């Protein structure tokens, strides 16, 4: 089995396993106690904190361990908002933040605060000027991930941090995906991360609050699973020692996937920034493919990958990241290679993928080229049908109208609002817009070629 979902959780690093087992014998006592066993545990905790702080690039007394990356995010946002409540209650987040950040923003709004969600360009990156325009006198906090968890795009953290610093606004950086590859540069104020993203044990997060940041602490005690903390710090140091060499190797493998997938599989869109991205992540979307069905096909072939397609979600709505980028969501596949991923496994994935996609398309009745011309406008009734059926039905009939003719697609699937415009861009057709319909929404497409 080839595990290609390291962006969700990286396999436990051997150093983490060794440190975890060793510290179970030495670090079981309460490090807050003054007797011998407690002092021994305290030494382990202090050493872990020093190692983690060195990796982050902060002071040891600025870093605490939490029970998860999500808890680190929630605690960090709440702490800064509470500490700067007198300044204002305006929060800035990017539209592609991790759901932990966006859920905290929603909770802040429900509590009477205001939130501005900064859009991204098609590559998934924010524009620095957008943050500059959004900062206000009552802005208490701005948030920006260091790199995106779904498409791998790196964000201009240093430049945004400079804008925030000039305005006197702290910047919280979610570094969950990038910290294993290197320090986050820039004058940020708060940083969060999660150990299972770099090969540490699950259930350990990092929260760093720089000295001088107004912060209202809401947790009296630090998370206390000492063996897991020791393993997290040890593995972070270990992966950093290997990061530069491994990054070069994984970039070559992911670039191979980025280039060859569109050559091997028709009607594919590779998403995310082609250059400013994390070493091991590559994401692409396939037209006329059900994401869940494709993941099952690849699983049967021995590959573990993930997807942002709406049809792999119980909500039947597309990934908020893909939606914010304005890219195709159907048939979405994220390949995130773990450290040590074998070249032969990548080659085997490229051999298997075309057949897997073709099989799913055949089951769904994907379109063959059409040549007949009948009417100036056709109506496609896709009400009650989920992705990617509305787009498949559109593709089947676009050739049945003359150049300049229109197709009206009736759909009540939220994914159609994203995928029909994306299909038009990929196929060189004109997306006219949407109109309310008696049931659902009517999406208008004009044939241009």
389-435 pLDDT, tens per residue?
Answer: 899 988 888 888 888 889 999 998 888 898 999 889 988 999 999 99
pLDDT of residue 372: 36
Instruction: Give the pLDDT confidence of 333-387 residue by residue, as tens digits.
Output: 999 999 999 999 999 999 999 999 999 999 988 775 433 334 578 888 888 888 8
Task: Identify the three-state secondary structure at position 116.
Answer: strand
pLDDT at 194 over 90: yes
Q: Go through 3-21 and write b for each residue having 16 or more CB atoms within 10 A of its CB, e for each that does not.
A: bbbbbeebebbebbeebbe
Mean pLDDT of 307-328: 75
Q: How high is the pLDDT of residue 371?
A: 35
* Predicted pLDDT at 373: 39
Say how far residue 87 (Cα) sits from the centre of its chain. 31
Integer Cα distance of 63 and 120 in angstroms: 30
Q: Is the pLDDT of residue 243 over 80?
A: yes
pLDDT confidence of residue 310: 52
Residue 147 has what DSSP assignment?
B
Residue with tokens 């009552």: 138
Mean pLDDT on 215-243: 86
Measured distance CA(117)–CA(128) in Å, rounded = 13
For 40, 147, 348, the CA distances from 152, given in Å and listed in that order, are: 40, 6, 22
Q: What is the mean pLDDT of residues 155-179?
A: 97
Q: What is the predicted pLDDT for the residue at 383?
A: 87
Mean pLDDT of the chain: 91
Q: What is the pTM of this model?
A: 0.88
pLDDT in tens, 205-226: 999 999 999 999 765 456 678 9
Model pLDDT, residue 150: 95
Q: Please list the active-site residues.
A: 311
> How large a percentage of the chain has pLDDT more than 70?
95
Which token pair is 257?
Answer: 């996937």
Predicted confidence (pLDDT) at residue 313 exceeds the cutoff of 60:
no
pLDDT at 288: 92
At 431, give phi and psi (nearest 5°): -90, 115
Whether 179 shows a pLDDT value over 90: the answer reads yes
């Amino acid at each position: 089995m080839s595990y290609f979902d390291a962006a969700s959780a990286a396999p436990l690093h051997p150093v983490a396993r060794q440190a975890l087992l060793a510290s179970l014998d030495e670090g079981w006592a309460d490090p807050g106690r003054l007797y011998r066993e407690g002092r021994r545990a305290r030494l382990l905790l202090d050493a872990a904190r020093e190692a983690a702080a060195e990796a982050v690039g902060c002071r040891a007394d600025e870093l605490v361990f939490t029970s998860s990356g999500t808890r680190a995010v929630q605690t960090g946002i709440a702490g800064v908002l509470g500490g700067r409540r007198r300044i204002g209650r305006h929060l800035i987040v990017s539209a592609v933040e991790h759901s932990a950040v966006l859920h905290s923003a929603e909770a802040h709004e429900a509590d009477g605060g205001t939130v501005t969600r900064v859009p991204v360009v098609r590559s998934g990156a924010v524009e620095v000027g957008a943050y500059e325009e959004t900062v206000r006198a009552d802005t208490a906090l701005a948030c920006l991930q260091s790199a995106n968890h779904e498409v791998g795009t790196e964000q201009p953290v240093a430049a945004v941090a400079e804008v925030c610093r000039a305005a006197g606004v702290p910047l919280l950086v979610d570094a969950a995906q990038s910290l294993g590859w290197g320090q986050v540069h820039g004058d940020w104020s708060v940083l969060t991360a999660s150990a299972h993203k770099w090969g540490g044990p699950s259930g350990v997060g990092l929260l760093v609050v720089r000295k001088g940041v107004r912060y209202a602490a809401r947790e009296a005690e630090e998370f206390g699973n000492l063996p897991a903390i020791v393993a997290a710090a040890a593995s972070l140091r270990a992966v950093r020692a290997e990061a530069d060499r491994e990054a070069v190797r994984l970039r070559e493998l992911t670039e191979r996937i980025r280039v060859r997938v569109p050559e091997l599989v028709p009607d594919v869109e590779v998403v995310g920034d082609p250059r400013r991205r994390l070493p091991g992540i590559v994401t692409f979307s396939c037209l006329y493919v059900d994401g869940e069905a494709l993941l099952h096909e690849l699983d049967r072939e021995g590959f573990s990958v993930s997807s942002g397609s709406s049809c792999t979600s119980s909500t039947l709505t597309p990934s908020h990241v893909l939606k914010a980028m304005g890219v195709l969501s159907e048939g979405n596949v994220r390949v995130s290679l773990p450290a040590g991923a074998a070249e032969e496994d990548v080659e085997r994935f490229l051999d298997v993928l075309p057949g897997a996609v073709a099989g799913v398309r055949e089951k769904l009745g994907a379109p063959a080229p059409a040549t007949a011309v009948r009417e100036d406008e056709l109506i496609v009734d896709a009400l009650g049908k989920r992705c990617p059926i509305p787009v498949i039905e559109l593709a089947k009939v676009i050739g049945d109208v003359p150049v300049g003719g229109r197709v009206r697609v009736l759909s009540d699937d939220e994914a159609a609002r994203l995928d029909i415009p994306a299909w038009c861009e990929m196929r060189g057709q004109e997306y006219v817009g949407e109109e309310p319909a008696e049931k659902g929404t009517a999406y208008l497409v004009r044939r241009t070629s």
